[in-house]
């Protein structure tokens, strides 16, 4: 029983270490096994396998319905199942990608409102929306534009300034 519990505790310690050193085992082999065991040699998968092998064997042995040989078999099956589930979950989480970071080039063609009046060939401020978020930018216009006027972004020379024109309806 002590061996199984020791194995289970070792797996839990490995799982805790995987939070700090994840990706370590993949780098140890320097790409020699690329594609062959992709993800299966990750520290969380090995930790899940080790922990469930130990605790599964301890539970099987502790219930008294099997001897040490049966406990090893039960523990190994539980370990393989936990390793497979850990692998599948980590793959699903790795595929969960977010959208790219918005850039100032995406401002071109958007509309907004003037919050600080723009003098002719001078600077004012406009409130735009970029990726659903409000963004206040310095703005230039060839024509004077009053506060509250709806404007159209013609270009974005920098990440904090735009060239606008009033929207004509």
Indicate yes or no: pTM above 0.85.
Answer: no
What is the model's pLDDT at position 105?
83
Contact 20, 44 (CB under 8 A): no
pLDDT digits (tens, 9 = 90+) for 10-69: 888 988 887 777 656 556 666 665 555 556 677 788 888 999 999 999 999 898 888 889
User: Which residues, including other chains, have CB under 8 Å from residue 55's CB and lie 6 or more apart?
Assistant: 4, 5, 8, 11, 75, 78
Tokens of 38: 């992709």
């Amino acid at each position: 029983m002590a061996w199984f519990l020791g194995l289970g505790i070792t797996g839990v310690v490995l799982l805790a270490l995987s939070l700090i050193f994840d990706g370590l085992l993949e780098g140890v082999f320097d790409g020699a096994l690329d594609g062959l065991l992709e993800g299966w040699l990750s520290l969380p998968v090995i930790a899940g396998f080790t922990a469930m092998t130990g605790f599964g064997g301890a539970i099987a042995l502790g219930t008294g319905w099997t001897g040490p040989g049966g406990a090893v078999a039960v523990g190994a099956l539980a370990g393989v199942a936990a390793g497979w589930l850990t692998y599948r979950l980590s793959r699903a989480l790795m595929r969960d990608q977010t959208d790219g970071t918005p850039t100032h080039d995406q401002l071109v063609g958007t509309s907004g409102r003037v919050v600080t009046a723009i003098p002719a060939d001078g600077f004012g401020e406009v409130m735009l929306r970029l990726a659903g978020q409000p963004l206040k930018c310095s703005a230039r216009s060839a024509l004077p534009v009053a506060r509250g006027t709806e404007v159209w972004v013609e270009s974005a020379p920098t990440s904090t300034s735009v060239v606008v024109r009033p929207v004509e309806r």
